[in-house]
Amino acid sequence: MNLYRDLYCDVVIAGCGVAGLYTALHLPRDKRVLMLSKEDLESCDSMLAQGGICVLRGPEDYDSYFEDTMRAGHYENRRESVDIMLRESRQAIDTLLDLGVRFEKNADGSLKYTREGAHSQPRICYHKDITGREITTVLAAQVKKLPNVKMMEYTEMTDMLIAEGQCVGITARKRTGEILKIYAGDTVLATGGIGGLYEHSTNFPILTGDACRIAREHDIALENMDYVQIHPTCLYSKKPGRNFLISESARGEGAVILNHKGERFVDELLPRDVVTQAIQEEMAREGVEHEWLSFEHVSPDVIRGHFPNIYQKCLEEGYDILREPAPIVPAQHYFMGGIHVDRHSATTMAHLYAVGETSCNGVHGKNRLASNSLLESLVFARRAALHMMENGKEEETYGSDHYAACC
């Protein structure tokens, strides 16, 4: 077997989560696209998003949504990026609806909204408590239909190919040991976050900041690498592996945080970093390993209808949240830093883009507002695709005979 192979395409995308998929969907159909997944397509953090995806409900919501995002981010957000995300949010939601995403709706057919911490009003679209899985599954199904896109599972990016100071592709390793040199007109880094580097995280362990590490090795600008969000309400368990997240929307629907005396000690709808700090301080004061999340004030119908996955997971751990609280503990959740990009998701190296949690476009500032992550990924993935179209090379890139080798 030949352990080395050269492949050629117009665009290579490292990562098959929401950001990578949405980029591929918005590229021209005459562009030959190769997508890589480090593991199987199911093992991406986009699948794990529970609470939902934000949308600007209307012009009257702009000021409050903008302020909510800025306040959660400690006013370290890039204002231009926040403005772009808000103004392009409705287009993103409408596209998802057109593609078949099943957001919850009211009896009159309008979108149903829920609320999470640090939001001044409900503006979050959702599908039960598995919104990320719903969106990612729909996007993946659409991408698989495209004849110009090929997807490789169990293929890990290992480095970038650079010529004359520009990115001309990446190198990758398949699980079989085969080494690939993938030459592309444009390269998109969408490898997710850094949770796999932590002992306790809601992320899949394969998310180890690969793209950021490789970018640093090639002197590509990084930004806010110390901005890491801890989610306050993860299900406490002594079992090894990924921490199960209990969506912030549960608190938006009335769930409350209690100490071991059954006392509330924090406003559950404050920004995540504030709630996390309060829980950690209370745990230290009480000398315990966890606190409690009570669903006593949440309707059983809401628990079964809005949070069926959370309800089932808690049952598996021995807690019936219809009758008793569940133990919760903070865990690493989201990375606000990453590879520095501009409003078009372009990095500081020509023909190299970064999208999703891998990138840092400044939307989130120092602390992400709940349910802005999926929206930010979609908006700036689309912008990356549009920028590639507008700035594409005039000359023919690589022949179809080479591309056939990608199949």
- At residue 15, the 3 state secondary structure works out as coil
User: How would DSSP label each residue in 315-338?
Assistant: HHTT--TTTS-EEEEEEEEEE--E
Q: Tell me which residue has tokens 């700036």.
A: 380
**Of residues 188, 333, 185, the one with CA closest to residue 246:** 333
382 in active site: no
Coil/strand/helix, residue 372:
coil
* CA–CA separation, 366 and 17 (whole Å): 23
Residue 104 to residue 113: CA distance in whole angstroms:
8
* 8 Å CB contact between 293 and 233: yes
* Residue from 272, 368, 382, 383 carrying the catalytic annotation: 272
Residue entry with tokens 């593609």: 99
Of 135, 113, 109, give the one whose Cα is nearest residue 58.
Answer: 113
Which tokens sit at 23? Answer: 């980029």
Q: What separation in angstroms does the CA of 65 have from each of 3, 54, 61, 82, 239? A: 52, 9, 6, 10, 38
Alpha carbon distance 111, 298 (integer Å)? 21
Q: Report helix, strand or coil for 292.
A: strand
Structure token pair of residue 262 = 């059954």
How many other C-beta atoms are found inside a 10 Å radius of the C-beta of residue 277? 16
Cα distance between residue 93 and residue 131, in whole Å: 12
Spatial CB neighbours of 293, under 8 Å, sequence gap ≥ 6: 233, 246, 250, 251, 255, 256, 257, 258, 321, 325, 326, 327, 328
- Is there a contact between 27 and 359 (Cβ–Cβ < 8 Å)? no
Q: Which residues does residue 258 pair with via DSSP β-bridges, in sequence order?
A: 264, 292
Q: How far is CA 146 from its chain centroid?
A: 23
Please state, in angstroms and as integers, the Cα–Cα distance from residue 186 to each residue in 342, 391, 392, following that order: 16, 10, 8
Token representation of residue 267: 């406003």
Q: Give the catalytic positions in this structure.
A: 272
